[in-house]
Amino acid sequence: MKLKRSERIVVMTEYLLKNPNKLIPLTYFVSKFNQAKSSISEDIHIIKTSFTEENIGTITTLSGVNGGVIFQPILSPESAKEVIDDFLTQLRTTDRLLAGGYIFMSDIIGDPNIMNKLGVLISNIYQNKEIDAVVTVASKGIPVAYAVASVLNKPVVIIRRDNKVTEGTTVAINFVSGSTRKIETMVLSKRSLKIGAKVLLVDDFLRGGGVMTGMQTLMEEFDAEVVGKTVLTQCFDSEIANDDSYTYLSKLTKIDEYTGDFEVECGNALEKLAKVNN
């Protein structure tokens, strides 16, 4: 039995929302609903108009043999500010400061609702960049990477601190930790990333910048092009902040390890997003 148009639109909307930034051939919906291509095109137009009016995202229609539709989630300036404000509110709760000037963020990173919204926000900032993979370092950067990659519809590449036999042939580099000033190691399987790939580097926290610099150095071993670098929280000012490709959602200042007090400021994410939308 054929579905009514209203029923088709519900099913198609759900499918598009679950498959962002993926080219979906119109023939997929034609076959699924046993409808003419013209009818499916009309359904897509209705969904596209609704998504635009409600600031849910954009739907791009591509013609030709390899044509189809692509859904890209977007955040309006108001929604983006709301996401950042909610994130900052979470960070400002008491008893987060840890020894060494670090901050406890595991509960935030482990919250799918927050991370999904942050993933859309970060992906919007780099929506005009060609990205082949989202790269991070194990372990707390992994949820951030997956939140972004799920929206961009790109694979996640995880750099490890030690070599595993399951990784096969690997490339390793030594780097100086920005906070401890100790020499540490990063390892990445040669099968994880194609030579010449365009990558987005993400992490949860940046203090001295050593890890981010180490990731970029490792990418050079793969002749990869780093098109962007993003962290959820930055501690104090950092030289890396002068990099146009660098985005940080928040910044910790006035840290007092004796009292546990600190202040949280908004990062440059909203400014970056505004430039993309203009």
CA-CA distance, 21 to 19, in Å (whole number)?
Answer: 7
Check residue 235 and give its pLDDT. Answer: 86
Contacts of 222 (CB under 8 A, 6+ apart): 171, 188, 193, 194, 195, 196, 197
Q: Please identify, in words, the CATH class of the domain defined by 77-277.
A: alpha beta
The structure's pTM equals 0.92
**Mean pLDDT, the chain, whole residue set:** 91
CA-CA distance, 241 to 249, in Å (whole number)?
Answer: 12
| Domain positions in the chain | 5-73, 77-277
Check residue 165 and give its pLDDT. Answer: 77
- Cβ proximity of 103 and 97 under 8 Å: yes
- pLDDT (tens digit per residue) in 157-214: 999 988 887 888 999 999 887 666 789 899 999 999 999 999 999 999 998 888 999 9
Question: By three-state DSSP, how is residue 203 classified?
Answer: strand
Question: What token pair was written down for 269?
Answer: 């994410």
- pLDDT (tens digit per residue) in 110-149: 999 999 999 999 999 999 999 999 999 998 999 999 999 9
- Cβ proximity of 44 and 69 under 8 Å: yes
Write phi, then psi, for 32 (nearest 5 degrees): -65, -40
Write phi, then psi, for 268 (nearest 5 degrees): -105, 10
* Closest by Cα among 218, 220, 212 to 177: 212
CA-CA distance, 225 to 211, in Å (whole number)?
Answer: 17
Question: What token pair was written down for 54?
Answer: 């409600």
Q: What is the mean pLDDT of residues 25-37?
A: 93
Alpha carbon distance, N-terminus to C-terminus of the chain: 46
Q: What are the C-alpha distances in Å from 53 to residues 35, 48, 56, 59, 228?
A: 26, 9, 8, 12, 30
Sign, Cα dihedral of 171, 141, 22, 62: negative
- pLDDT (tens digit per residue) in 60-83: 999 877 779 999 999 999 999 999
CA-CA distance, 169 to 184, in Å (whole number)?
Answer: 19
Check residue 102 and give its pLDDT. Answer: 81
Q: What are the C-alpha distances in Å from 193 to residues 126, 137, 156, 197, 216?
A: 20, 14, 10, 7, 13
Query: What's the gap between Cα 141 and its chain centre?
Result: 11
Q: What are the C-alpha distances in Å from 121 to residues 18, 72, 148?
A: 17, 12, 8
Check residue 60 and give its pLDDT. Answer: 94
Question: What token pair was written down for 164?
Answer: 């595993």
Site of tokens 């960049």: 129
> Is the per-residue pLDDT at 1 higher than 60?
no
Q: What is the CATH number of domain 5-73?
A: 1.10.10.10
Check residue 242 and give its pLDDT. Answer: 75
Check residue 228 and give its pLDDT. Answer: 97
